[in-house]
Structure 1
């Protein structure tokens, strides 16, 4: 099935400045700090390429840990046709809520993705925008119990409160919150993300490419 993205939507990519020791820290025991950073840059490139190839009104990279001038994040955003902003302070939920609220003040739909999933594609992101034509929200479940994508038609900061981030209960807690708030939603096919050393077993080509050399 091919979905056609409606005009007017905005796509948000959440990322972190790719500095050794500050990205993919849970993979450092398996890959080393340099290898984990190289892998993160690869994953971020996948997300940005998919974003850049998705037909939508605007594309934005919200970066954490970047210097005032935006650093590498700003350069990557420019390279892939995205604008960029600094992520605000707060936990992951507060930062996502802020980004979506700000974006939905200017757009009728907003999709937010991270930079940990090797399987993002323009078709997947386009399907998310199409889903928001008939539902209040859309989720892209992750195989580990989280999600790789969330989209909304209107701000819902309560949706991100009280979630136990970086655990296997994130998706189920979010479903419960959506139901509690009376929001309709649909879910896309489940994708895998890459956060922990165990996840590398699903991506042997990446393990072989980025394994630590020391």
Structure 2
């Protein structure tokens, strides 16, 4: 398929089901509170992605298709279900599918980063004009955003997902291949109660 030189943002979202989201957080705060927090994170994420109407947004759900939150206007034709045996497989398949739809500059985010902003997402795409890969580093050693203007399979293979080594290993593989990359501002993901409490304190301090 001929490329359109378009920009596309992939959003990996878990279906908000009690007992199935934020399991590390739920281990200490309980399933109901974890689900409440996840809904809050979804609301924050959608409030930012709906501001970037110049970029196509693809929502990839974990298990089944569903309607986006009320009053959110997104193209329902861009709603998909994740496919693959692990996170790397699912991300690679999503990148490939969106690329085959005609998009060249593609970035992926999750819904666990309350500090994500429309400005940071736009900055990622601006950097893809000069760098083949862009990372949004997370304080836990992973990343909250991955952008590419060509598919780099090594970033999805044999990565110890959900560990502090994710970004380190990913960056090392690019360096081994002499593939340049750019880093965005470092932000925090919400994975456990400590992360959530730190975010709440920060929110109160900035009010």
Superposed pair shares fold, TM > 0.5: yes
Larger deviation, residues 155-164 vs 141-150: 155-164
For 1:33-182, list aligned pairs within 5 A.
33-66=31-64, 70-71=65-66, 74-76=67-69, 79-82=72-75, 83-105=78-100, 106-182=102-178
8 A Cα contact 1:139 1:186, kept in partner: yes
8 A Cα contact 1:48 1:80, kept in partner: no
Give the Cα–Cα distance (whole angstroms) in 2 for the partners of residues 207 and 151 of structure 1.
28
Give the CA RMSD over aligned residues: 2.1
Count of aligned residue pairs for this structure pair: 197
Is the alpha carbon distance of 1:109 and 1:77 closer, same or farther for their aligned partners in structure 2, counting shifts above 3 Å? farther
Is the alpha carbon distance of 1:99 and 1:78 closer, same or farther for their aligned partners in structure 2, counting shifts above 3 Å? farther
8 A Cα contact 1:10 1:57, kept in partner: yes
Give the Cα–Cα distance (whole angstroms) in 2 for the partners of residues 207 and 108 of structure 1.
36
**TM-score, length-scaled by structure 1:** 0.85
Larger deviation, residues 186-195 vs 57-66: 57-66
**TM-score, length-scaled by structure 2:** 0.88
8 A Cα contact 1:12 1:113, kept in partner: yes
Is the alpha carbon distance of 1:195 and 1:138 closer, same or farther for their aligned partners in structure 2, counting shifts above 3 Å? same
